[in-house]
Structure 1
Amino acid sequence: MAWKTLDDMDLKGKRVLVRVDINVPVDNGKVTDTTRIDRIVPTVKDILAKGGKPILMAHFDRPKGKVVPEMSLAVTLPALEAALGQKVAFADGGWDAAVATLAPGQVLLLENMRFFPGEEKNDPEFAKELAALGDIYCNDAFSAAHRAHASTEGVAHLLPSCVGRNMQEELEALEGALGDPIRPVAAVVGGAKVSTKITLLSNLLDKVDHLIIGGGMANTFLMAQGHEIGKSLAEAEMTGTALEILEKAKGAGCRIHLPVDVVVAEEFKARAPHKVCPADACPAEGMILDAGPKTVANICAIFEECETVIWNGPLGAFELMPFGAATYAAARQAGALTDRGELITVAGGGDTVSALNNANAVHQFTYISTAGGAFLEWMEGKTLPGVAALGG
């Protein structure tokens, strides 16, 4: 990997422009989940320890280039100060003066980048304004690296640049899982629709040894194979694509694993009466809401023989009890193998992280990405502008 890290930079006395992601959930003016704030702490602390002056750039919500008071980053200050254990200066204007008066050991947060039209347009002039505030640029926001914005891509071309600790960890984890993994590698891909993950599935065929398909996506593959799926969620128009993916997998030496048994109910609601049946025998009035126990056993056996697992998407309708059983059981097995040092596990995506949390397995995984869209685009094999601009 060609990008530089904080270890490669002389930060003493330097103004360090740090792009972070603190776009956190807020309720009644208070941050309700500090995960993203907690993850930037190592970078800020390292810059301070090396004598640098951290100037934090971030976005919050979608103000679309206009000043929206309720989308001010000021709301994050209490949580940010608690995480860092020190006061944080805030500049909603007069950035030049705020930076000029920044003393060693202090941290400065700039107002929401997306209040400025030049941010999302990646306007060169706005990028120059930002670059003039710093001596070094550090990107610690992998979750925003798929956006070619002024603070994520434009400014990286104007200053000596590096990645922060959070982004470094993310890039190393993903590179280790897909770029140069320890084999055999399995990918678990779930979710509702094949249409939203065609690029992902196609990219993985050449990169993994086992591709485990679950969720509503699996129903489309079962339909493509001629199986009855009753009233299950599926995309009939995507069956041809599903067959193409199955055929390409053979040529790529990738084994695709679909459910062999399924959990079926007649209603899409929590605790609906349900039963297990073979994957090719869904009743006409039934809908597939989860993978069955034999499928789970097969998945766990695959994990046993693999060295690396990358996971995006649940195996069933996990948000409805008890149709998260397959996802939770597989997650716990992956977590247990990781705990024993027998498996490297990397997972990402909002639903995936929620499901792993529900399974109490999230802390066992080697790496959990909070990057959302950037994680998915990386898995799809796309070039991320914010990473490419750093030389990676």
Structure 2
Amino acid sequence: MNEPTPERTPMATALSATLVGVYALQWAFGATDGLGLVHMGATSPVFWERLHVWTVFSSTLLHIGVLHLLANTYFTYVVGGLLERVIGPWRMLLVFFAGGTVGSLLSVVLLSDTVSAGASGGAWGLMIAMLLLLLSPWLRVGTRLRAGPVGPLLRLIGLNAVLSFLPGINGLAHLGGGLGGAMAVVITARGGRIWAVPAGLAYLVHLGALAVAVFVGRPWALGDVGPVERRTVLDGYVSLELPIAMETADTPEGLATLGGSVDWDPLTVSIELARFDEPPWAGIASQAVPCPGNCQARRAQNASGGEALWGFRPYGPYALVTVFAMPAGIDDPDWALQAVQGATLTEAGVGLLVSLAVTARSDGDPATHRDVLEA
């Protein structure tokens, strides 16, 4: 491969500066990981749950930590700059965004239960496009690139392929990025400056998608659940304080209420009402309900003999709280379970069990059952 001429590479520079600028915005909003990353526009289960289709584009501009940013920015600047000298700024830009978009699409389709963000889909598109240019005389027509050794580039691609299998790395985004970059460099092989308009539109679409994600997600406000109000749910058996903006909905059976989405909201609440005289609780009304797993049990007893057992199960920096209320002739309708959001049994008798689960994530961390992958 001939040495590239020492020309400026304004598009690769602008693209790299964009990645750094977006990460600075993430840092300012506290959205470099966790739930803040989802509200900033990472791909996640809310793509399907709430049809946040713009995250296919916005996620390619986000990063999960400084090292992730530095690695992708370096590859974008170096490989993107080299490709820009060979095929021009507009084709290079289309290769990058095609790689990032196809990588994101593969993620939301095949890894729909994960959170993913990063520009490495675009970086992979750049690497594979350069490899195809070195291997194909037809693609090199009209460029200053000549056939040359591909060993160094193959070693770079091989190293990145190995890294794609590491935990926490979105290998599918890398695969999709390579496919997208390959398609883009072939499709744009002829036309020259005709690709300036599509490339400019692609840039604007990605920046616009990020703006939509920030407007909808309001990542700076995750720590504030807003004003609360006391609501009565489950046919009047339970009342508790919930954020005014939180929607609640009974199941068709009328036995459970869910407020919030574990993949989107900083606070989720679920309540279930069951009877002790029905399976699986039959016969254990007078016994302490076992605290499952690694939760820390707490017990309390009200003046009329009702018993409550609640457990705090640690999930990283936040907790899942479950309350089992075992009333024994409760006369006080305002018996409060102060341990969990001021929940109150408004009407209860012997044989009722109330389970209340609250997940509070004021620090913006995601649900722990979701894998967070660097793309």
The normalised TM-score by structure 1 is 0.25
- Larger relative contact order, structure 1 or 2 (CA cutoff 8 Å, min sep 6): 2
Structure whose CA Rg is larger: 2
**Structure 2 length-normalised TM:** 0.26
